[in-house]
Structure 1
Amino acid sequence: MITQPFVWAIFLLPLGAFALISLVVKPVLKLRAEVSGYIGIGAIGLAMALALWALAAVLGAEEHEIFIAPLEWLSVGSLNIEMSIILDGLTSVMLVVICAVALMVNIYSMGYMHGDPGFERYYAVLSLFSASMIGLVLSGNLFITFAFWELVGLCSYLLIGFWFQRPAAASAAKKAFIITRVGDFGFLAAILVLFAATGTLNIHELNELAVAGVLAGGVLTWAALGIFMGAVGKSAQFPLHVWLPDAMEGPTPVSALIHAATMVAAGVFLVARTFPMFEHSTTALTMVAVIGGVTAIFAASMGLVMHDMKRVLAYSTISQLGYMMLGLGTGGVAVAMFHLVNHAFFKSLLFLGSGSVNHATGTFDLRQMGGLKQHMPKTYWTMLIASVSMAGIWPLSGFFSKDEIIAGSSSQPLLMALALATVFITAFYMFRLMFLGFHGHYRGHSHPHESPWVMTAPLLLLAVPAAFSGFLNLTGGFGGLLGHGEETSVIEGLFGAFAHPLTWLSLGLAAAGIFLAYAIYLKGWLSAESISRRFGVFYELVKRKYFFDELYEKVIGEILLLRGVFSGLQFFDSRVLDNGLNTVIVENAVTRKLFGKFKYFDEKAVDGTVDAMAENTIAAGSLLRRAQTGQLQNYGLFIAFGILAVAVIVFLAG
Structure 2
Amino acid sequence: MSFYTFITLVAVTSPLISSVFLTVWKSNKHVDKIGTSFMFLSFLCSTLFFFTSWGGETVGYTLDWLRIGDHNFSVTFSIDNFSALLIAMVSAISLAVHVFSSAYMQGDPQLKRYYALLGGFTFSMFGVLISDHLVFLYLFWELVGFCSYMLIGFWRHKKEAISAAKKAFVINRIGDAGFMVAILCLYSVFDTLSIHDISAQFSSEYFNDPLIFIASIGVVLAAMGKSAQIPFSVWLPDAMQGPTPVSALIHAATMVAAGIYLLIRCFFFLPEETLLIIASIGGITALIGAYAAVTQYDIKKVLAFSTISQLGYMMLAIGVGDPENAGFHLVTHAFFKAGLFLGAGAVIHSMHQVSCDICKGFDAQDIRWMGELRKYMPKTFIGFVICLAGLSGIPFTSGFLSKDAILSSALLRMNDGGAWIIVGVFGFAAAILTAFYCLRLLYHVFIKDLGIANHKVCQDCLVLPKEVPTRMNVPVIILACCSFWFVYTLNPFDTAGSWLQEGLSIVTLDHHSVHFIGLILSLLMVAVGLLSAYFIYFKGVDSSFKKKIKSKFFYRLSYEFFYLNNLYKAGVKSLLFTSRKLESIPHADEHFVNLAIGTSEVVRGFDDKVIDFFVKVFAVGNVVIGHVLAWFDKYIVDGIVKLFTLFMKLLGDIFRKPQGERSQSMIAWSILFIVLVLVFLI
- TM-score, with length taken from structure 1: 0.82
Q: Which amino acid aligns with 1:209?
A: Q
Whichever residue aligns with residue 517 of structure 2, its letter is P
Report the Cα distance in structure 2 between the residues aligned to 1:367 and 1:196, rounded to whole angstroms. Answer: 56
TM-superposed CA distance for 1:333, in Å, is: 1.2
Give a deviation string over 1:357-390, Cα, whole Å, max 9, x none: 0000021101111111100111111111011111
Question: Given the superposition, is the C-alpha separation of residues 188 and 529 from structure 1 closer, same or farther in structure 2, using an over 3 Å criterion?
Answer: farther
Per the alignment, in what secondary structure is the counterpart of residue 157 of structure 2?
coil
- Residue in structure 1 matched with residue 51 of structure 2 by the alignment: 56
Change (3 A) 1:352 1:610: closer
Question: Does the aligned pair in 1 maintain the 2:409–2:510 contact within 8 Å?
Answer: no
Aligned length: 567
Distance in 2 between residues matched to 1:453 and 1:233, nearest whole Å: 36
How far off is 1:275 after superposition?
A: 1.1
Residues 289-300 of structure 1 correspond to what in structure 2 (within 5 A)?
289-300=279-290
Residue 332, structure 1, aligned to residue 322, structure 2: yes
Alignment partners' CA distance in 2, 1:116 and 1:266: 29
User: Is 1:232 paired with 2:247?
Assistant: no
Once the two structures are overlaid, the 10-residue window that deviates more, 139-148 or 403-412, is: 403-412
2:550 touches 2:556 (CA, 8 Å); kept in 1?
no
Does 1:40 find its partner at 2:32? no
Q: Tell me the residue number matched to 2:534.
A: 518
Residue 441 of structure 1 corresponds to 449
Asked whether 1:482 is paired with 2:496, we answer no
Query: Which residue matches 2:468?
Result: 451
- For 1:145-160, what aligned pairs fall within 5 Å after superposition? 145-160=137-152
What is the deviation of 1:514? 1.3
Q: What letter is aligned with 2:557?
A: L
Q: Residues 396 and 470 of structure 1 are in contact (CA less than 8 Å); yes or no, is this contact kept in structure 2? A: no
1:463 — aligned with what? 480
Structure 1 contact 291–322 (Cα < 8 Å) conserved: yes
Give the conservation status (yes or no) of the 8 Å contact 2:409–2:509: no
* Aligned-partner Cα distance in 2 for 1:265–1:434: 26
Matched with 1:545 is 561
Kept in 1, the 8 Å contact 2:23–2:116? The answer is: yes
State the Cα distance separating 1:12 from its structure 2 match: 1.0
Q: CA deviation at 1:533?
A: 2.4
Partner of 1:583: none
Aligned-partner Cα distance in 1 for 2:264–2:531: 36
Secondary structure of 1:200's counterpart equals coil
CA distance in 1, matches of 2:614, 2:223: 32
Report deviation, 1:6. Answer: 2.5
Cα deviation 1:168-217 (Å, max 9, x = unaligned): 00000000000111111111111111112222111111222333635742
Question: What does residue 355 of structure 2 align with?
Answer: none
For residues 545 and 228 of structure 2, the distance between their equivalents in structure 1, rounded to whole angstroms, comes to: 30
How big is the shift at 1:83? Answer: 3.2
Matches of 1:431 and 1:610, distance apart in 2: 49
2: distance between equivalents of 1:621 and 1:547?
40
**Partner residue of 2:113?**
121
Give the aligned residue type for 1:478. L
Match of 2:302 among 312, 317, 339: 312
Query: What amino acid does structure 2 have at the position aligned with 1:616?
Result: F
The SS at the match of 1:388 is helix
After superposition, where does 1:27-176 map in structure 2 within 5 Å? 30=27, 33-61=28-56, 65-176=57-168
Q: Relative to structure 1, is the Cα distance of residues 535 and 166 closer, same or farther in structure 2, using a 3 angstrom cutoff?
A: closer
Q: Report the counterpart of residue 259 of structure 1 in structure 2.
A: 251
Q: Who wins on radius of gyration, i.e. which is larger? A: 2
Asked if 1 retains the 8 angstrom alpha-carbon contact of 2:4 and 2:49, the reply is no
- How far 1:47 sits from its partner (Å)? 1.3
User: After the TM superposition, which residues 485-634 of structure 1 pair with which residues of structure 2 at under 5 Å, given as runs?
Assistant: 487-488=509-510, 490=512, 500-525=516-541, 527=543, 529-530=545-546, 533=549, 536-556=552-572, 558-560=573-575, 615-619=605-609
For 1:283, which of 267, 273, 281 is the aligned residue? 273
1:414 aligned residue (422, 425, 431): 422
Contact conserved, 2:61 with 2:78, CA < 8 A, in 1? Answer: no
Q: How many angstroms apart in 2 are the aligned matches of 1:18 and 1:161?
A: 18
Q: Distance in 2 between matches of 1:141 and 1:99?
A: 22
Q: In 1, distance between residues paired with 2:615 and 2:519?
A: 58
Deviates more, 1:505-514 or 1:12-21: 505-514
Using a 3 Å threshold, how does the CA distance of structure 1 residues 99 and 624 change in structure 2: closer, same or farther? farther
- Alignment correspondent of 1:396: 397
Aligned residue identity for 1:550:
N
CA contact (8 A) 1:210 1:220 kept: no
Cα 1:435–1:342, aligned 2, differ >3 Å: closer, same or farther? same
1:534 Cα deviation from its structure 2 partner: 8.0
Given residue 186 of structure 1, which amino acid in structure 2 is its aligned partner?
G
Gaps of 5+ in 2: 353-363, 415-420, 453-457, 586-598, 617-682
Q: 1:207 aligns with which of 177, 191, 199?
A: 199
- In structure 2, what is the equivalent of residue 323 of structure 1? 313
Measured against aligned partners, the alpha-carbon deviations of 1:588-630 in whole angstroms (never above 9, x if no partner) come to xxxxxxxxxxxxxxxxxxxxx999865331336867999xxxx
8 Å Cα contact 1:476-1:485 kept in structure 2: no
Cα separation, 2, equivalents of 1:624 and 1:364: 48
Contact 2:321 / 2:508 at 8 angstroms: preserved in 1?
Answer: no
User: Deviations 1:471-501 (Å, cap 9, x if unpaired)?
Assistant: 274514433322226655759xxxxx9x702
Partners of 1:624 and 1:122 lie apart in 2 by: 34
- Deviation at residue 522 of structure 1 after TM alignment: 2.0
Q: Structure 1 counterpart of 2:317, which letter? A: G
- Quick one: which amino acid aligns to residue 300 of structure 1? A
Match of 1:245 in 2: 237
SS, match of residue 327 in structure 1: helix
Q: Which amino acid aligns with 1:151?
A: L
Structure 1: how far apart are the matches of 2:613 and 2:255?
A: 32
| Structure 2 CA distance for aligned equivalents of residues 349 and 124 of structure 1 | 22
Tell me the secondary structure at the aligned position of residue 394 of structure 1. Answer: coil
The answer (yes or no) to whether the contact 1:291–1:326 under 8 Å persists in 2 is: yes
The CA deviation string for residues 314-340 of structure 1, in whole angstroms up to 9 with x for no partner, is: 000000000001111111111110001
How many Å separate the matches in 2 of 1:107 and 1:486? 37
1:344 corresponds, among 319, 322, 334, to 334
In percent, how many aligned pairs have the same letter? 36
CA contact (8 A) 2:489 2:499 kept: no
Q: Does 1:12 align with 2:13?
A: yes
The amino acid across from 2:321 in the alignment is G
State how far apart, in whole Å, the 2-side matches of 1:467 and 1:625 are.
58
**Counterpart AA for 1:293:** G
Secondary structure of residue in 2 paired with 1:83: strand
Are 1:303 and 2:320 counterparts?
Answer: no
State the superposition RMSD in angstroms.
2.6
Change (3 A) 1:215 1:85: farther
CA contact (8 A) 1:79 1:200 kept: no
For residues 614 and 396 of structure 2, the distance between their equivalents in structure 1, rounded to whole angstroms, comes to: 56
SS at structure 2 position matched to 1:68: strand
